Structure 1
């Protein structure tokens, strides 16, 4: 059995998984441990809840790895946990993971966004910083915006709380860019939007589908602390 925890990074995950992969909502603390105890051979962690509930605990990831479970992480919470746990055997996938693993990115909030509930397909309401970076990079390569505009857009986006970050708010927060150019810049950013979280989520599902399901030898001895035993 294989399980993937996913939500707003890839709302249509069902299109990409096979019959051997079970899709579950964004993980919260205890969900990975439960999947391991259910006998899951491979787990994909993409999205995780964090604001109003306890997030996925590193200890439960280590628990899964110590039991030979293949655990992959990408795109959002999964990229964060993979960067933190890859030394113990968790497999990171995608550009966002690589950025955290190399400390090009260090802020957890760079993957955060405001979105609707599962019933509405996790519709995105704001833009995560990692997608801003990817979009700006593409626009620079294609010569659509200048290096100075790229710097201003990224500084503006990073200064906004993740629940307020939309392209309109980002451009409006750049006083150096105004008038017709501001309108044009807004159109360029919207028309050339790069959803890096989605791309990395799809890459993780590809890796999960290819996982052979064989038990992996752990790289460490799992310490069953009192907090774990009583959790």
Structure 2
């Protein structure tokens, strides 16, 4: 099974997301890789993720998934950022955005950040800097801007807080910089092609295609438990491990806290039941 975590970077109507064997998830957030339906030897394609409205997907969750045999591909957005950070541990990065992070050409998170619609549709409301870099490069190739003008415009757009980099803001900043011709040219290009300059979309489609290709993924160095196993990780994993007890879905973390408070024999029970295990299970993990 291929699990694709995607939101504003790709439309829900993208044909690749309806291919057999693909399960589409909304943008990833903390805890998603603990889901019991993500099994050993499955593939996760990480494209979009939450980071403002909800806790972001943590590095150690990805490391733990790879440690139990899940293949993880990252591209385009937070997937490209995480892939650049975790490439030494076996995460596969795909596309130009990943390559730019990996080389150190870009480093800031807001290079890929966009404002998202709050209604669950995951529509992008703003421009990410990586796409603005792309259209500025295309404008230079078309003779609309020279390199100095493009650089000054990029710096002016970078100064706009990422949830405010709307199309209207891009036009306004362009006019303030004396580049109204660029604003008109960009509007014309987008009218012809709504995906004009959208390198994030190109990379995301390439990542999904990589997962669908059927070719064996490069063998990464499967991280050992010592790489991610911390007290914090154990608490996260136990919080996401649930078991149905007397009609209630209870987390292992919640049950442990209850037992610590009320069970006189907790110390002996803990010592007898803390052998290493792989979440998500209902058993406590040390």
- Do Structure 1 and Structure 2 share a fold, with TM-score over 0.5? yes
Supply the distance in 2 between the matched residues of 1:82 and 1:13 (Cα, whole angstroms). 26
Q: 1:173 to 1:37 in 2, by over 3 A?
A: closer
| RMSD (CA atoms) | 2.3
Residue-by-residue CA offset, 1:55-95 (whole Å, 9 max, x unaligned):
01101111111112110000101011000001000000010
Q: Which residue of 1 aligns with 2:234?
A: 229
Query: What secondary structure is seen at the aligned counterpart in 2 of 1:16?
Result: helix
Choose from 198, 209, 213 the match for 1:210.
213
Looking at structure 1, the residues matched to 145 and 5 of structure 2 have their Cα atoms a distance apart, in angstroms, of 36
1:15 to 2:15 alignment: yes
Return closer, same or farther for 1:77/1:42 CA change in 2, 3 Å cut-off: same
TM-score w.r.t. the length of structure 1 is: 0.88
User: Aligned runs of 1:55-70 on 2, under 5 Å?
Assistant: 55-70=56-71
Structure-2 residue corresponding to 1:162 = 162
Any conservation in 2 of the 1:139–1:145 contact (CA below 8 Å)? Answer: yes
Aligned: 1:199 with 2:202: yes
Matches within 5 A, 1:138-177: 138-173=138-173, 177=177
The TM-score normalised by the length of structure 2 is 0.72
**Aligned partners of 1:127 and 1:167 also within 8 Å:** yes
Unaligned 5+ segments in structure 1 are none
Q: CA deviation at 1:174?
A: 5.0
For 1:216 and 1:177, how far apart are their aligned partners in 2? 48
| Paired residues of 2:73 and 2:83 also in contact (CA < 8 A) | yes
Question: Could you tell me whether the CA contact under 8 Å between 2:41 and 2:69 is conserved in 1?
Answer: no
Q: Distance in 2 between matches of 1:139 and 1:211?
A: 37
1:1-231 counterparts in 2 under 5 A? 1-12=1-12, 14-17=14-17, 18-34=19-35, 37-39=38-40, 41-117=42-118, 119-120=120-121, 122-173=122-173, 177-178=177-178, 182=180, 184-192=181-189, 193-211=196-214, 218-223=221-226, 224-231=229-236
Alpha-carbon distance between aligned partners in 1 of 2:106 and 2:175, rounded to the nearest angstrom? 26
Structure whose CA Rg is larger = 2
Q: What CA distance in whole angstroms lies between the structure 1 residues aligned with 2:152 and 2:86? A: 34
Aligned length in residues: 227
Q: Per-residue deviation at 1:139? A: 1.2
Q: Distance in 2 between matches of 1:156 and 1:185?
A: 14
